């Protein structure tokens, strides 16, 4: 059994945490990815550029909208394509 990946430490930027979530999703670790995505969305922006905050907020809005349907594709402005 492969070791579980370690979550980014507290204080890690939302972008780095989002990148970790995308990597977990890409390797099929949906449980870890889900937790990291929630962490990104529940962490207030701190010292990030306005464009970064806007992209993460758009990603969050797309997830909320998509969660209302049974099948969906979300293409974020950060280049991620998440299919569930």
Identify the helix (H) or strand (E) that includes residue 83. Answer: strand 81-83
| pLDDT digit string, tens, across residues 30-70 | 888 888 988 988 888 888 899 988 888 888 887 777 666 64
| Residue 62 · residue 72 · CB < 8 Å | no
Give pLDDT tens digits for 7-18: 788 888 898 998
CA distance linking residue 43 with residue 38, whole number of Å: 8
What is the structure's pLDDT at 58?
87
Instruction: Determine if the pTM surpasses 0.75.
Output: no
Indicate whether 79 pLDDT > 60: no
Tell me what pLDDT residue 78 has: 46
27: β partners: none
């Amino acid at each position: 059994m492969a070791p579980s990946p370690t979550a980014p430490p507290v204080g890690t930027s939302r972008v780095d945490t989002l990148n970790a979530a995308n990597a977990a999703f890409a390797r099929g670790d949906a449980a870890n990815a889900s937790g990291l995505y929630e962490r990104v969305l529940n962490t207030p922006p701190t010292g990030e550029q306005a464009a970064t905050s806007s992209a993460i907020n758009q990603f969050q809005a797309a997830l909320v909208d998509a969660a209302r349907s049974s099948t969906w594709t979300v293409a974020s402005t950060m280049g991620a394509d998440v299919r569930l």
